Amino acid sequence: MTEAMGSVETTIVLNGAEVTGHAPADTTLLRWLREQAHAYEVKEGCNEGTCGTCTVLVDGRATTGCTTLAVQAAGGEVETSVSLSEGDELSPLQASFWEHGAAQCGFCTQGMLMSAVELLRSGEDVTPASVREHLHGNLCRCTGYQAIVDAVVRAASEGATR
């Protein structure tokens, strides 16, 4: 990070590729990802950290991009849902979302997927109760959550980590 002309140079490894951008020091990670890295899969929701729509993984931890400053993630690794698939092939978790109808309008899907990935990689038992607990703070208006819970449990039963 270097300060120049009122902006801060920030470098983040985004989905495996190093990205450098300039923004004011008070720029949120959400803004930086969308405006500097063009990661439009990260959606803007409440801007208060309560809806989970902008959830990404920062160094493996689910983090709301609207409440995290970009400079806090500088030098770290950020993963979005783009990192889950390989080319045109859906990841096991994404495929499970598709099969269970867990993604309807798609607005919350990025945050749900990334929160679920953190759970799948955690090593803890994945049960309907643990999924509900882990996805707490991710709001969905379309699915009623059961399809999402079923999709995550199914992906976990098949050994998915993405």
Q: Does domain 92-157 have CATH number 3.30.70.870?
A: no
What does the mean pLDDT of the chain come to?
A: 94
Residue intervals in the chain for CATH 1.10.150.120: 92-157
Number of H helices, E strands in the chain: 6, 6
Look at the block and give the residue holding tokens 């949120």.
28
Per-residue pLDDT tens digits for 26-62: 999 999 999 999 999 999 999 999 999 999 999 999 9
Q: Is 126 exposed, middle or buried, given 0-12, 13-18 or 19+ CB atoms closer than 10 A? A: buried
- Residue found by looking up tokens 């300060």 in the block: 3
Q: Which pLDDT score, from 0 to 100, does residue 51 have? A: 96
Mean pLDDT in residue range 133-149: 93
Determine the length of the chain: 162
Q: Kind and range of the H or E element at 3? A: strand 3-4
- Quote the pLDDT of residue 41: 97
Rounded Cα–Cα distance for residues 47 and 40 (Å): 16
Q: Name the band, by pLDDT with cuts 50, 70 and 90, for residue 5.
A: low
pLDDT at 10: 94
> What is the CATH topology of the domain spanning 3-82?
Ubiquitin-like (UB roll) (3.10.20)
Phi-psi group of 60: left, alpha or beta (phi > 0 → left; psi -120 to 50 → alpha; rest → beta): left
Q: Which helix (H) or strand (E) holds 17?
A: strand 17-23
Instruction: Specify the pLDDT at position 2.
Output: 47
The pTM (predicted TM-score) of the whole model is 0.93
Q: Where in the chain is the domain with CATH 3.10.20.30?
A: 3-82
Q: What percent of the chain has pLDDT over 90?
A: 91
- Name which residue leads in pLDDT, 142 or 92: 92
Instruction: Summarize pLDDT for 69-93 with one digit per residue, the tens.
Output: 999 999 999 999 999 999 999 999 9
